[in-house]
């Protein structure tokens, strides 16, 4: 009893130390609430190695790519690294919106961690490591196009396979691989296609149990689809199909692709995403059971064999209670490395920033962006992170040091449309302004909605994101009295990703001014 009370006290103290607007799924009483990650960890896959759980997610054009998260209980997660820092193709030196890494899978085999993923046009890749929090070695398996959602599988005889889908084809393929997983040995065979009952099937994850091969695949589309499981005694089929989870009477639309994991205790759990617009594809944890050789994911209240997502449930039985935590957000810039929560819009370049020129600050240089008005759609040096909760506030402190008029630095909410508050260098001083923007082919959609002239080069910027992703911007010169600027802006997602919030520093001029902005901190409070 004393141990239980102490664990509860530690849990409550930890929750109290979290930022008050963070989404905390651990309820501190042995239960959790969904989603477990109220952030855009799209296409999650999960494995258990010993007492540790690892989760990976899509990154698309955001760099570094494929975040790796760690947990001891499937509820409390921290970011521990990324699979790659950059993609080795010139295309990704500029924002390639919607391209980059799609739907990775993670597996552990013979002492190695493997992550497989495809890009739309460059091919199939695998990354390996012995330490998932360290460096990964990236290898291009095949130069193919329009493949997606690859997952490796090692059978009991040691033979290796790769199951994958094809973009918008609603078809699953199976390939033989070399035993080390580095080469494909054939062109692959179609193992499942059924548009009548399982349209748009994709995201396959394969496992073997009790003499059956199972493939977990979402079908029906991201917004309104369901979870399907295929089953066969033979790896090449034929496969039976069954829907094992759908939205049902819940508000969790299109419970989509994810990964299933077995605990030491014998419990099974499934992590999947649901698309929430500007907030991205956020992640849910569902209990899973087996009935008559088929899994049921979520709660089967109708006793039909089809589960529904849960909103609250008891935590997984991992044998211990662990500290309550959430993925990183706030950054005080006191390290010589960027926090793992940050991603650029393209392959990062050393000349974009410094964490050592002014200790305790992030220096962002005003990188040239030769578009009309510095349109942010084309800016590679946007430093962004995911929305972490349904409602939150971000504040940052900036000291701006431009070298010519037109240079601009500020705080941005970015998607297919965007809004920001910024300091701009103008003749005889500075301007604090609130802007919105959109990219439409042929012209620059950047507009200024409100501005204030000032002689001050230092400022505090703030954005409050309310439920519904409604954003309001404000500024202050003393850090205490904030004045709203501009109009409300409703955030929208990017290309396959949710909206993001972060910092930028750009120069739209033909001749580079080589200015910079120092950011003291970036706080979610």
Position 510 scores a pLDDT of 85
Report the catalytic residues: 43, 202
Distance between first and last Cα of the chain: 35
Q: Is 29 exposed, middle or buried (0-12, 13-18, 19+ CB in 10 A)?
A: exposed
Whole-number Å distance between alpha carbons of 348 and 370: 18
Kind plus residue range of the DSSP H or E element containing 418:
strand 417-426
Distance separating alpha carbons of residues 508 and 373, to the nearest angstrom: 6
Rounded-to-integer distance, Cα 192 and Cα 389, Å: 38
Backbone angles phi, psi at 374, to 5 degrees: 70, 40
Residue in 102, 111, 110, 49 with CA at minimum distance from that of residue 80: 49
Average pLDDT per 10 consecutive residues for the chain, totaling 525 residues: 38 45 90 98 98 98 98 98 98 96 97 98 98 98 96 97 91 98 97 96 97 97 94 98 96 94 98 97 98 96 93 97 96 97 98 97 93 86 97 98 95 97 96 92 81 96 96 97 98 97 94 90 94
The predicted pLDDT at position 512 comes to 77
Q: What residue ranges do the domains of the chain occupy? A: 2-314, 343-524
CATH topology of domain 2-314: Tachylectin-2; Chain A (2.115.10)
How is residue 43 written in tokens?
A: 């296409």
Query: If 0-12 CB within 10 Å is exposed, 13-18 middle and 19+ buried, where does residue 2 land?
Result: exposed
At residue 250's C-alpha, the angle toward residues 266 and 202, to 5°, is 65
Give the list of residues 6+ apart from residue 115 with CB closer than 8 angstroms, or none.
Answer: 56, 66, 83, 104, 105, 106, 126, 127, 128, 136
Query: DSSP readout, 184-230?
Result: B-S--EEEEE-TTTSTT----EEEEETTEEEEEEEES-TTT-EEEEE
Q: How many helices (H) and strands (E) does the chain have?
A: 1, 38
User: pLDDT value at position 18?
Assistant: 54
pLDDT for residue 14: 41
Fold entry, domain 343-524: Jelly Rolls (2.60.120)
CA distance 290 to 171: 26
């Amino acid at each position: 009893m004393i141990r239980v009370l102490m664990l509860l006290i530690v849990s409550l103290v930890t929750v109290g130390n979290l930022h008050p607007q963070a989404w905390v799924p651990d309820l501190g009483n042995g239960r959790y609430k969904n989603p477990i990650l109220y952030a855009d960890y799209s296409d999650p896959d999960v494995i258990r190695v010993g007492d540790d759980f690892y989760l990976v997610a899509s990154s698309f054009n955001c760099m570094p790519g494929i975040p790796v998260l760690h947990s001891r209980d499937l509820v409390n997660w921290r970011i521990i690294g990324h699979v790659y820092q950059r993609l080795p193709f010139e295309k990704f030196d500029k924002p390639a919106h919607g391209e980059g890494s799609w739907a990775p899978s993670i597996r552990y085999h013979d002492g190695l961690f493997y992550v497989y993923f495809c890009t739309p046009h460059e091919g199939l890749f695998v990354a390996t490591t012995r330490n998932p929090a360290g460096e990964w070695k990236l290898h291009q398996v095949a130069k193919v196009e329009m493949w997606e959602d690859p997952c490796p599988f090692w059978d009991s005889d040691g033979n290796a396979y790769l199951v994958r889908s094809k973009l918008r084809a609603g078809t699953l393929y199976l390939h033989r691989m070399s035993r080390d997983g580095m080469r494909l040995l054939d062109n692959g065979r179609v193992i499942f296609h059924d548009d009548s009952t399982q349209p748009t099937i994709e995201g396959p994850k394969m496992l073997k149990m009790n003499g059956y091969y199972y493939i977990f695949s979402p079908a029906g589309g991201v917004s309104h689809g369901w979870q399907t499981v295929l089953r066969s005694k033979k790896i090449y089929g034929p496969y039976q199909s069954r829907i094992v989870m759908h939205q049902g009477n819940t508000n969790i639309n299109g419970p989509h692709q994810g990964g299933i994991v077995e605990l030491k205790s014998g419990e099974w759990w499934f992590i999947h995403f649901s698309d929430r617009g500007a907030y991205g594809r956020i992640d849910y944890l569902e209990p899973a059971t087996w009935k008559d050789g088929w899994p049921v994911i979520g709660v089967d209240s109708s006793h039909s064999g089809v589960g529904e997502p849960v909103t609250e449930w008891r935590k997984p039985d991992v044998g211990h209670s662990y500290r309550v935590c959430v993925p990183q957000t706030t950054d005080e810039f006191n390290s010589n490395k960027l926090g793992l929560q940050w991603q650029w819009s393209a392959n990062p370049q050393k000349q974009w920033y410094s964490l050592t020129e002014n200790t305790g600050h992030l220096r962002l240089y005003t990188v040239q962006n030769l578009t009309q008005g510095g349109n942010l759609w084309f800016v590679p040096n946007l430093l962004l992170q995911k929305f972490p909760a349904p409602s939150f506030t971000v504040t940052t402190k900036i000291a701006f040091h431009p070298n010519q008029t037109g240079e601009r630095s500020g705080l941005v909410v970015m998607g297919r449309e965007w809004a920001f508050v910024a300091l701009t260098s103008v003749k005889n001083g500075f301007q604090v302004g609130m802007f919105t923007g959109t990219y439409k082919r042929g012209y620059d959609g950047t507009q200024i909605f409100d501005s204030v002239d000032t002689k001050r080069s230092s400022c505090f910027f703030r954005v409050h994101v309310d439920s519904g992703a409604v954003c309001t911007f404000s500024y202050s010169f003393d850090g205490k009295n904030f004045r709203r600027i501009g109009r409300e802006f409703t955030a929208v997602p990017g290309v396959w990703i949710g909206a993001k919030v972060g910092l930028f520093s750009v120069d739209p001029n033909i001749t580079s001014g080589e200015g910079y902005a120092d950011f003291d901190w970036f706080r979610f409070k």
